[in-house]
Structure 1
Amino acid sequence: MARLLAERLDIPFSEADDLHPPANIAKMSAGIPLDDADRWPWLESIGRRLREGEAAGTGCVVACSALKRRYRDTLRTACPSAFFLHLTAERKVLEQRLGDRAGHFMPKTLLGSQLAALEPLQPDERGAALDVGPAPEVIAETAVALLPR
């Protein structure tokens, strides 16, 4: 979805999973959830990526699981103009999509820990929630319409 949005906006795309340090990948591959200490270096890398896009004047779309408010606050500190799109879905949809994903280090058994950690966007946060039920192209167009100008 994030890649489609970046293509639609004609701006750079980054997959935040590519920014995880090897220790995080090993931990998740073993089915062990990350804790906050594991996530801080990763969040700092994402923040740098966002800041670089802002400094370049292009912006960027980063696909990441900024599950908690404090994670998003860290990203906003790095890039105050960050806008968050929280894609929502029923658990069974998420499980199916994780099961269909090939070659990824995070097993679907970690979904429960991700959902337990999730703190939805609050009204004072720049962002919006979008259901992933419609076709990807419809979601991308809706996302574009929600972005600040």
Structure 2
Amino acid sequence: MQQSKALAILKSGRNVFLTGSAGAGKTYVLNQYIQYLKQYGVPVAITASTGIAATHMNGQTIHSWAGIGIKDYVSDRYLASLRDKKYFRDKMDKVKVLIIDEISMLHRNQLDAVDYVLKFFKQNDEPFGGVQVIF
């Protein structure tokens, strides 16, 4: 698939699993999409499963961004304590697009926890609380 077609799919608002061999231009396409989102004022969370990958995208780890740390599971009680933190609540309320780079390094339980956090804060039972996700 051409990079321009991949970028068009991202711009459509669909959830996307972007994959390809090394040097195929995945990071290039993601950076173009991030620039597009910022140009139009769409709040985007740029994350990765590892700190090194996060620095390559000028982002942060998904663990930190979602407030899950090293947990494989988050309780309603824990999420209620996060809701008391205005900066965290505001971040979750605003986000429209979540990018997780190096998704293969993330355990499914952690991905489930991210899904649960977004559903909780967005008060939306759609996958990831209705937020567009790019893996």
Q: TM-score, structure 2 length as denominator?
A: 0.34
Q: TM-score, structure 1 length as denominator?
A: 0.32
